Amino acid sequence: MRSLTILALGMALPACTPASDEGDSSALTPQQVVSPSGEPAPEVFVATAWRAVAADGARYTTYLDADGTYRDLRNGDPWQTGSWTYSVVERDKRLCFMPAPDSGIERCWEPGRMSGGKMKATNDDGVSIELERVDYRPPADAGSDAGVDANADDAPA
């Protein structure tokens, strides 16, 4: 598997380290998301971007595009793409990522509450990550030389 996508979340995003860089994820314990004064997680994730920093210092940024696709960057370089969905059923909120064919399996995250531009998300295995909302940048036109540069994920939203 190439990466775990957050939200980077993300997303990630994803997001969002290769399984080989994570070590034994079964040794991780879920963190309880408690933020009584925090804002609720966004009900609409369209046109948002989220950054997570891996234990090895790698920065994963996930851009959630309006057409239902996501783009993951690892240290500013293209990493993974696929589709994303967000659903709310009663109190169960799920942000799910399906990588492009042949590059991974679907991963779903439960977003926590926002606090100071940051949000925790917990996956189905109980692993929690912290996501920072950053400036969203739309995908570059296919015929354009413009793209997301390596430093584009530096600006918090």
What CATH number is attached to the domain comprising 55? Answer: 2.40.128.640
Helix, strand, coil fractions of the chain, as percent rounded to 5: 5, 40, 55
What would the mean pLDDT of 50-62 be, rounded to a whole number?
96
Express each pLDDT in 85-101 by its tens digit.
998 888 889 999 999 88
Is residue 75 in some structural domain?
yes
Is residue 30 in some structural domain?
no
Number of domains in the chain: 1
Could you count the other beta carbons within 10 Å of the beta carbon of residue 28? Answer: 13
Q: Distance of CA 16 to CAs 36, 107, 144, 146, 147, Å?
A: 27, 11, 28, 25, 21
Which DSSP state fits 21? H
Express each pLDDT in 12-46 by its tens digit.
333 333 333 333 333 322 222 222 334 555 668 99
Distance of alpha carbon 86 from alpha carbon 91, whole angstroms: 13
- Model confidence, pTM: 0.68
54, 146 in Cβ contact below 8 A? no
Is residue 73 in some structural domain?
yes
Distance of alpha carbon 44 from alpha carbon 110, whole angstroms: 14
Q: Write out the residue range of the structural domain in which residue 9 sits.
A: 1-19+39-143
